[in-house]
Amino acid sequence: MGIFSTLNFEHLEDLFLQQLKSLYEGEQRMTTALRKMSEKASSDELGRALTAHLSETKGQIMRLEKAFQLLGKKPERTTCEAIRGLIEDCEEVLDAKGSQDVIDAALIAAVQRVEHFEIAGYGTARNFAQRLGHEEVAMLLEESLKEEKEADANLTAIAISSVNVAAQAA
């Protein structure tokens, strides 16, 4: 909360580390959410896409751990209100009643919000890493950024080609 902020940004490096911890928190929380959403999906194609992104997410966690290691820091999480809220929205869809096909469209809507959030986070962190001369860390963040963008584009393709069509017919 604003008034009791414990953030201390003396140097860009402090902000960079806080951003990495926030990404780490988000990825950890998303592993559980993605597993549940992949189980909830009725479209096989959507289920496979969510399962594939779950396994990418585990790789992204390992990349962040490698980044902390390269920076001589222990991997740490920080609270992130934004990802908590986005995941709450995912959880709400998991509990939704109604047409399976419309629920699939709702799953995509919720996950794509997360992907865009992660794209913003990885883009910012990659730019900080480059500015600070952490080349190897920047490359790790760039790889995850690319995966998030591909996951997002893949979900758009699945929505347009099948899930939204089925949802409309429901």
8 Å CB contact between 70 and 136: yes
CB nearer to Zn ion: give 87 or 110.
87
Instruction: Output Rg (C-alpha) for the chain, integer angstroms.
Output: 17
User: How far is Cα 58 from Cα 81, in angstroms, rounded to an integer?
Assistant: 21
CB nearer to Zn ion: give 80 or 159.
80
User: How far is Cα 89 from Cα 23, in angstroms, rounded to an integer?
Assistant: 18
CB nearer to Zn ion: give 59 or 85.
85
Q: How far is the CB of 4 from Fe ion (least distance, A)?
A: 29
| Binding site partner of 80, from Zn ion, Fe ion, none, Cβ cut-off 5-8 A by kind | Zn ion
8 Å CB contact between 83 and 29: yes
Q: Which stretch binds Zn ion (CB under 5 A): 2-10, 61-69, 74-82, 150-158?
A: 74-82
Residue 120 makes contact with Zn ion by CB under 5 A: no
Q: Site for Zn ion (CB under 5 A): which residue of 20, 34, 80, 158?
A: 80
Q: Which residue has the tokens 């390992």?
A: 62
Please give the residue ranges that form the binding site for Fe ion (CB under 5 A). 27, 57, 60, 115, 118, 148
Q: Which stretch binds Zn ion (CB under 5 A): 11-19, 72-80, 96-104, 138-146?
A: 72-80
Residue 82 makes contact with Zn ion by CB under 5 A: yes
CB nearer to Zn ion: give 127 or 156.
127
8 Å CB contact between 101 and 166: yes
8 Å CB contact between 80 and 26: yes
| Binding site partner of 101, from Fe ion, Zn ion, none, Cβ cut-off 5-8 A by kind | none
Burial class of 50 by CB neighbour count within 10 A (0 to 12, 13 to 18, 19+): buried
Q: How far is the CB of 82 from Zn ion (least distance, A)?
A: 4
